[in-house]
Structure 1
Amino acid sequence: MASISLRPAQPDDVPALLGLVHDLAIYERAPNAVEMTAPMLHAALFGDAPLARAVVAVADDILGFAVYFTTFSTWTGKAGLYLEDLFVKPEARGRGIGKALLRHLAGEAIRRDCARLEWQVLDWNEPAIAFYKSLGAEPLDEWTRYRVKGAALAALANQETLHG
């Protein structure tokens, strides 16, 4: 069994990362939801103005990943890290990879003097919920997430809201 190490994602990792994103979408019961292409992922992680960062768990190949980005809280006056996706290949689970990826992000948050590390989990994903709770994560049940996309986003952007 090869040893596992964590490292920042590199441009050559994009095809493997995109494959894992598709695997995550299948796991999350949304196999056709991924619209991102390899060039889009490359630009998001390694372009002139990166939108996110990624860390990968590697043995002989990439076994898991975490994609995250910086947020800001007006209440704390500090940055935070938002974990967009964390995924470990099913055959590599139970080896501490998910915990190692989260520990890495927690360390990154501490190094950056962030106020928090946060993420979302599907309400039916009991294994993930139990795992996150075992690490001390707490659900924010009082918050409801909203989203505007597609035609509704375009309509909202084109609405005139100031009168008088």
Structure 2
Amino acid sequence: MRHARPADLPVVVALVAEHAAYERAAPPAAALGHRLALLLFETPSPRLRCLVAESPDGEVVGYATCVPEISTWDGAEYLHMDCLFLRDSTRGRGLGALLMDAVVAEARGLGLTEVQWQTPSWNEGAIRFYARRPGVRCQDKVRYTLPVGPRITG
């Protein structure tokens, strides 16, 4: 497990596309590599963090992305894990647990005391995986998305 480097972007973008297909979502935007490069590497203090899982031969086979967020109810920051994905052929080998451990270490390194994430309600494999983590609490919520068009000036 390690932080993504600029040279990893093509494979991370491919993994994101596989992840979107797995979750029955629309494919990523055509400019995703450029957008991720800006978020991960082009600012003095990047907001988005990307951890990658490598196979024993050094191939990047999975990723986790996370970003510090704020809980109004708690009045505290936490680390939001946006994605965790491994290629199907690499699942069941402990890489997912290592990625989760790396995300937890990232939170600790930022001085944060909690990690939050979500998964589709139909993804029983992910639910079983996450439920096995010591101390994990599940909260039932429904996620909404509202596209906002460009700002109109005039």
Give the TM-score of the pair, scaled to structure 2.
0.86
Aligned counterpart in structure 2 of residue 64 of structure 1, from 53, 62, 66: 62
Other-structure match for 1:127: 125
**Counterpart of 1:43?**
38
Gaps of 5+ in 1: 1-5, 159-164
1:46-82 residue CA offsets vs partner (Å, 9 max, x unmatched): 1126331101111321011101101012333322101
Q: Map Cα deviations across residues 106-142 of structure 1 (whole Å, 9 max, x no partner).
A: 122223231310111001000000110111422211x
4+ runs deviating over 4 angstroms: none
- C-alpha separation in 1, matches of 2:61 and 2:18: 12
- How far apart are the structure 2 equivalents of 1:101 and 1:86? 8
The runs of 5 or more residues in structure 2 that have no matched partner are none
Trace 1:39-118 onto structure 2 (pairs within 5 A): 39-48=34-43, 50-59=46-55, 60-118=58-116
Question: Identity percentage over the alignment?
Answer: 33
For the aligned residues, what is the CA RMSD? 1.9
Choose 1 or 2 for highest CA Rg.
Answer: 1
The alpha-carbon deviation at position 16 of structure 1 amounts to 0.5
Q: Give the counterpart letter for 1:140 in structure 2.
A: Q
Aligned residues: 147
